[in-house]
Chains A and B, each alone.
Chain A
Amino acid sequence: MKGSINARLALPVLSLAVLIVAVFWLQPRAMSYVGINLLFNLAVPIALATVAQMIIIMVNDIDLSMGAFVSLIACITATILPGSPLLGVAMLAGCVLAYAALGALIEARQLPAIVVTLGMSFVWAGAAVLILPSPGGTSPGWLTAIMKSKPPLVPMAIIASVVIAGVAHLIIMRSAFGVRLRALGGNARAVSRAGRSTVMLKATAYALAGVFAVLAGMALVGLTTSGDANIAIRYTLLSIAGVILGGGEFTGGRVSPIGAVIGALTLTLAGSFLSFLRLSPDWQIGAQGAILILVLAARLLVRQAEKRP
C-alpha cells in the first residue's frame, strides 16, 4: 500500500517542487517567512474546498456548486456570524444538512449529481446575494486572528495545509468510516450487498464535504476580512482541477487527500508564478489551464508506462 500511495503522490509532489523552484528562481525574495506566507496564504481555503470536492468525487459524483456554496458560506460568515454567533452557527449547520439532503436525494432518486449541483449553484448564489447584496461585512475577530497568526519558524499557511492534509488523510484513508465512504465509490453494489444503506452513506459523504466547504468559506473570510457573493466563484473549477492534479480519478473512488491539498497548493502557486513572469492577467487563466494540461498529460504518460510491463 505504501508503494502505491507514493507512486500516486510522486507526480503531484514533483510538479509542486518544480513550481516552487521556478518561483524562487524568478523571485528570490519570496524565499522568506513572509514571502512563503504570501505565496500560500490563499491556498488554505482552496485546499479545504479541494478536499470537499474530493469527497464528492470519491463517491463518483461531481460538485459544480462548490464555488457558489463557498461564496454563500463566506457571506454568512462575514455578515451574520460576527453579530449573532448563534444564528450564524445554526445557518452554517443548516448548510451542511442541506448538503447531506442533496446527497441522499441524488442517491435515492439516482439523479445525476452534475445536474443537481449545477442547479443548486444558482440557489446558493441567489442566497448569497440575498444575505450580502454588495461586497462588505466583517470577519469575526477570532477567525482573522487564527488565519493571520504568525507562529514562529513556519508560516501559518504551511501549518494549516499540513493540518488539513493530515486530518483529511486520517478521516478518509485511515478510519473505518472513510473506508465505507470510499467503498461506495469503488463498488456500490458490494456495499449494498453487505447490507449497508447507500443512501445513508452518500448523505454522510456529502455532509462531510459540506463541513470542509464551510471551513473553506470561513478561512477565506478570515483572510480577506470581508465577504462578497462572488468571492469564490472560481473555486468550482479550481477544486476539481486540484483533485485531479493531486492524483485523484473521476470515477472508482480512487482519491488522495494529501495529493488534493498538494494540488490546491500547486494551482495557487501557478497563479503567482505567472504573475512573476509578468504575464498579463488576461492570459493567466489560459496559462493556468496549460499548466494543468501539461501535468495531466505527464500523468497519462506515467500511467501508460506503468501498465506496459
Chain B
Amino acid sequence: MTLSETKAGAQPAPVVMLQGASKSFGALKAMDHVDLSVAPGESLGLVGHNGAGKSTLVNLVTGLFAPTSGQVVYPGAADHAAAGIRAISQEGTLCPNLTVLENLQVVQRDLTGWGWRRLAARRIRAALDAVFPGHRIRPDMLVADMTLAEQQMVEIAIGFADGPVPARLVVLDEPTSALDASIAAELLAHIRRFCAKGGAAIFISHMLGEVFDVADRIVVMRDGRIMADRPAADFTRQGLVDAMGHVADEDHQPTPAALARVLGDKSHAILRTPEGIEARKGEVVGLAGLAGHGQAEALARFYLSQRSDWRSSARPRAAFVAGDRRRDGLMPVWSITRNLTLAALETLTRHGLIDREAEARIGADWQRRIGIRTPDMNNPILSLSGGNQQKALFARALATSAPVVVMDDPMRGVDIGTKTEVYEMIRAEAANGRTFLWYSTEMDEIRNCDRVFVFRNGAISAELEGDRITEENVLAASFEFGEDAA
C-alpha cells in the first residue's frame, strides 16, 4: 500500500479509494477489509480465482452495492456516477430489443429532447471509431441482430463514450471473452491510450498475457483479501499464479476405483462426452476452471443426452444435483419427503399411484443417512437451512438407481459442516460403484476428485489425475498465458 500512497502524493487525488471496505452476504464474507486506491492515469490489473472477491470489489467501486463496513470514497465527487466511473460487465447489460444508440440512451440521462438521436449516434460512433477502428457497426443497428462479439464491442464503446460526465475510471470485467485476438488487441491499445491521457482502468481477465499487456500495477485477490499489490513489472507469470493460490496442499485419499487403476486396472470408461470428459465406474471426476467457461453447459448436455425427453424411467442412467437450488432444484411448496423422492418416483408407483408408505420410508431412510436436520420430513422444504435443502437434493439424486450422478456446483453457499458430510457421502457412494461428475468452483472440492478436467473458453485445457491435482496446476490451466498457451 505504501507504493500507491507515495504515488498519490506526487499525483492528483485518486478517482476512487476503498478504506477498510468489507462486504458480507449473510454468513459469507465476500470482501474483508480491503484498502485500495486508483489514481488517474493508472491501469490496474485485477486477478484471482473464483470467489476471490473480484466481482465484489468491482461492484463496490461501481456503486452497485454499499460496503457492509468501511467506506468507498470518490474524492471530489458525490457518487460513482458523478466521479465518472463506468462499468463494462461480462454478464451483458445491453437491451437486445433496442438499437445501439438507444442503448446509449439507457445509460446516459442527458440524451433527451429534440435531436437526441443525432447526439447519441455521434457519441457512440466516435467511441466505436476510437476503440475499434474499422468496425462495421452502425448506431441504428438492432443489438439482437448483431453477433456476440459486436455486442461486446458496443458494450465497451458505451463504457468509453462521451457523456454528461466524462469517463474517468472504466472497470472492464473479462471484456475480451467474446472478442477475437485482433479486436482484443485494439481494445488493449485503447485502454493504454485512455490511461496515457489521464483516464484510469481496472482490468480483469483470465488471460494473464492481456493483464501483463495492459496493466502497470497488478492486484492479486484471494478469499476476499488483497494478497499482493505491486507494479506489473515486479511480477512474473509464475509468481502471479503462485500468489493466487493457497500454499498449503492437504492430501486426499483416492477412491477405490482410482486406487485400482493405479494398481493396473485397465477397465474402460463408462462415459465419454463430446468435449472429452471420461469417467470410469466408481470414479469422482471434477470439472474445474473459472466459472462460466462451459462446465455447466457440458454437464447439462451430458445429462440431457442420457435421458428421454418424453418419458421418465425407473432406471435412469444419470441423476442431477442442481447448484442453483431455486432455479433448477427445489419444488418450493412441497414437503421435504416429496422433494427428496421426486427423482425416484417411478420406483414408488403401484398401479400408477404413489405408494405413500414406501415414499415415507425412503424419506426417513435418507434423513438418517445424510443427516437432514428437521423434526418432521413432512415439513415444507423451505423450512430447512440452505445446507439441509442441498442435502435433500443430494438425497434425491442418490435415492435413484442412477449409476452416474451429475453435480452442477452443488455446494455453492453451503456451510463447511454440511460440505464435509456430503464429501463423506460421495466417497461412500463412489466406493459402491457410483460415478460422479462434479463441477465445482471451489478448490478444496476439486482436490476431492480422482481426476479433474479444467475448462477454459468452453473446451478442456488440461486433464489432471491423482497427485497432479493441485491448485497450482488447476490455476495454470484456467488462465491463459497469451501466446504460449498451457
Contact = CB atoms under 8 A, between A and B. Distances in A.
Interface in B117-166: 117, 140-142, 144-145
A187 B95 contact: yes
Interface string B95-112: 111110011011101011
A4 B97 contact: no
A183 B99 contact: no
A187 B93 contact: yes
Contacts of A190: 93-95, 106
B100 to A, nearest CB: 9
A254 B105 contact: no
Contact of A186 (B96, B107, B109, B111): B96
B98 A186 contact: yes
Grouping DSSP codes into helix (H, G, I), strand (E, B) and loop, the A interface class, with mixed when no group exceeds half, is: helix
B414 interface: no
Interface string B60-94: 00001000000000000000010000010000111
A193 B142 contact: no
Given A1-B140, A191-B106, A179 B98 contact: yes
Contacts of B117: 174
Given A1-B140, A4-B145, A194-B107, A189 B93 contact: yes
B264 interface: no
Interface in A184-239: 185-187, 189-191, 193-196
Contacts of A174: 117
B97 A1 contact: no
B113 interface: yes
A31 to B, nearest CB: 38
Contacts of B144: 254
A35 interface: no
A189 B87 CA distance: 14
B334 interface: no
B116 A252 contact: no
Nearest to B143: A186
A176 B111 contact: yes
A194 to B, nearest CB: 5
Interface residues of B, number: 27
Given A1-B142, A187-B96, A253-B97, 5 more contacts: A179-B102, A179-B106, A180-B106, A190-B95, A191-B95
8 contacts: A176-B112, A179-B105, A182-B98, A182-B102, A185-B97, A187-B92, A187-B96, A191-B106
Nearest to A249: B97
9 smallest A-B Cβ distances: which pairs? Answer: A186-B95, A186-B97, A1-B140, A190-B93, A253-B97, A187-B95, A176-B112, A183-B106, A179-B102
Interface string A60-84: 0000000000000000000000000
A176 B105 CA distance: 7
A229 B102 CA distance: 42
A252 B96 contact: yes
A176 B141 contact: no
Interface string A157-185: 00000000000000000101101101101
A187 B107 CA distance: 12
Nearest to A187: B95
A193 B112 contact: no
Contacts of B141: 1
A187 B94 contact: yes
A1 B96 CA distance: 13
A302 to B, nearest CB: 15
Contact of A182 (B64, B92, B95, B145): B95
A195 B81 contact: yes
Residue among B99, B107, B111, B113 having the largest count of chain A Cβ atoms under 10 Å = B107
Contacts of B102: 179, 182-183
A182 B102 CA distance: 10
A252 B142 CA distance: 13
A267 B166 CA distance: 50
Nearest to A177: B112
Contact of A193 (B93, B96, B97, B98): B93
A195 B93 CA distance: 13
Residue among A174, A179, A183 having the largest count of chain B Cβ atoms under 10 Å = A179
Nearest to A193: B93
Contacts of B64: 193
Nearest to B102: A179
A182 B81 CA distance: 23
Given A4-B145, A191-B106, A195-B81, A176 B113 contact: yes
Contacts of B109: 195-196
A179 B113 CA distance: 12
Nearest to B95: A186
A254 B81 contact: no
A106 to B, nearest CB: 20
Contacts of B81: 195
